[in-house]
């Protein structure tokens, strides 16, 4: 077993995939923190599903799998979905959660229809488009890792430059606008970063599982810290570890898909945090409550004994 693990860790293909999924998990955790704290966790789910028709339309326009064109189509589709969701909720046409559900199902349904049409065509270049649904992380190349790292560095730089503005807008959008900051610009930047992260993960994790990678790390991290910087740091760490550990387990096993394995590992981090986090963990709360009851019972017993002694 140890020899197999050492052989795996020194394998070039494994190192590439592990780095790629690790970086992707880190970015998803950091950017997804804003959506989780703002109560818009399902936005990542809607945007990931909404990117599918953009990929299909991009392929239909050029007739071949050109990564840049497909990703531009996914970005345009994701931004269009974001604009529709915000417009519908802002104009009070429907509630925010209803707008999310409507856009998610509509765009994903359109994407499936277009993909079915493409796969039924005689164009041989369409082979492999279905990997965008479930992902294929094992096919990641060093160029993909470099792309994720380069774009990720830009996203982290934007987070650093607009740290105070994003923080204020996340917790109190109205107060932020009274300070003179443009709520529309900040909303566009946050949504745009979310779209970019989702697009980076479409080919490796897929539209169905990408939402878990965006939401899961921040949900786990929120149980351990009350500060935005702490939650964001832990969220990035949980995302990175989920990517690396999930890739390792997938490589050790036989024909185990990488994307779903990463999500399973992430789910373990979430469940462990919900149970064992010092302040918010369910088991830790029960232990703390039990200690309080014991302490209170001891105080009552001590007081009772003192009254009996005085009497």
Kindly write down the DSSP assignment for every residue of 62-80, as one continuous string. HSS--HHHHHHHHHHHHHH
Residue 62 lies in a domain: yes
Domain membership of residue 167 (yes or no) is yes
Confidence of residue 270 (pLDDT cuts 50, 70, 90): very high
Q: Using CA atoms, how far apart are residues 6 and 16, in angstroms rounded to an integer?
A: 16
The answer to whether residue 190 scores a pLDDT higher than 80 is yes
What pLDDT sits at residue 36? 87
Tell whether 108 is covered by a domain.
yes
In a domain, 280, yes or no: no
pLDDT at 127: 57
| pLDDT recorded at residue 154 | 93
pTM of this structure: 0.83
Residue 264 in domain:
no
Q: Is the pLDDT of residue 311 over 60?
A: no
Q: What is the pLDDT of residues 278-308, one digit of tens each?
A: 878 888 778 878 887 887 778 777 777 666 6
Domain hosting residue 75, numbered range: 16-128+138-208
Q: Which residue reads 């690790």 in tokens?
A: 22
Neighbouring C-alpha atoms within 13 Å toward the C-beta of 238 = 36
Mean pLDDT of 44-56: 82
Give the pLDDT score at 123.
64
Domain membership of residue 176 (yes or no) is: yes
pLDDT tens for each residue of 133-165: 777 777 788 888 888 899 999 999 999 999 988
Residue 40 lies in a domain: yes
Coarse DSSP helix, strand, coil percentages of the chain, rounded to the nearest 5 percent: 80, 0, 20
Give me the pLDDT at residue 176, please: 81
Q: Are 140 and 16 in contact (CB under 8 A)?
A: yes
In-domain check, residue 294: no
- pLDDT confidence band for 244 (50 / 70 / 90): very high
pLDDT of residue 307: 67
Cβ-based neighbours of 48, under 8 Å, separated by 6 or more: 198, 202, 207, 208, 210, 211, 214
Structural domain count of the chain = 1
84-137 confidence digits (pLDDT tens): 887 877 766 677 777 778 888 888 888 888 888 887 776 655 656 667 777 777
Number of helical (H) and strand (E) elements in the chain, helices listed first:
14, 0
Q: Which of 152, 192, 183 is nearest to 165 (CA)?
A: 183
């Amino acid at each position: 077993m140890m020899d197999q693990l050492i052989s795996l860790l020194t394998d070039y293909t494994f190192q590439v995939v592990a780095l790629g999924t690790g970086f992707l998990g880190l970015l998803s955790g950091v950017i997804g923190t804003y959506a989780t704290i703002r109560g818009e966790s399902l936005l990542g789910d809607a945007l990931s599903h909404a990117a599918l028709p953009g990929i299909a339309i991009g392929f239909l326009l050029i007739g071949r799998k050109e990564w840049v064109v497909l990703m531009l189509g996914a970005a345009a589709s994701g931004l269009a979905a974001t604009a529709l969701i915000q417009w519908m909720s802002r104009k009070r046409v429907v509630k925010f959660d209803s707008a999310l559900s409507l856009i998610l199902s509509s765009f994903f349904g359109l994407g499936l229809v277009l993909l079915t049409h493409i796969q039924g065509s005689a164009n041989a270049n369409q082979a492999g488009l279905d990997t965008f649904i479930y992902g294929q992380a094992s096919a990641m190349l060093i160029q993909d890792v470099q792309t994720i790292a380069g774009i990720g560095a830009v996203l982290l730089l934007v987070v650093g430059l607009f740290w105070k503005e994003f923080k204020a807008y996340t917790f109190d959008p109205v107060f932020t606008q009274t300070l003179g900051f443009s709520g529309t610009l900040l909303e566009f930047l946050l949504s745009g970063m979310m779209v970019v992260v989702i697009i980076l993960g479409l080919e490796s994790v897929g539209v169905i599982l990408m939402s878990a990678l965006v939401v899961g790390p921040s949900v786990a991290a929120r149980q351990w810290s009350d500060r935005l910087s702490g939650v964001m740091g832990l969220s990035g760490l949980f995302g990175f570890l989920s990517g690396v550990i999930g890739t390792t387990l997938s490589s050790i096993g036989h024909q185990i898909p990488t994307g779903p394995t990463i999500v399973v590992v992430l789910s373990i981090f979430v469940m462990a945090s919900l149970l064992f986090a010092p302040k918010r963990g369910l088991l830790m709360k029960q232990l703390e409550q039990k200690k309080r009851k014991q302490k209170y019972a001891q105080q009552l017993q001590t007081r009772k004994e003192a009254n009996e002694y005085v009497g």
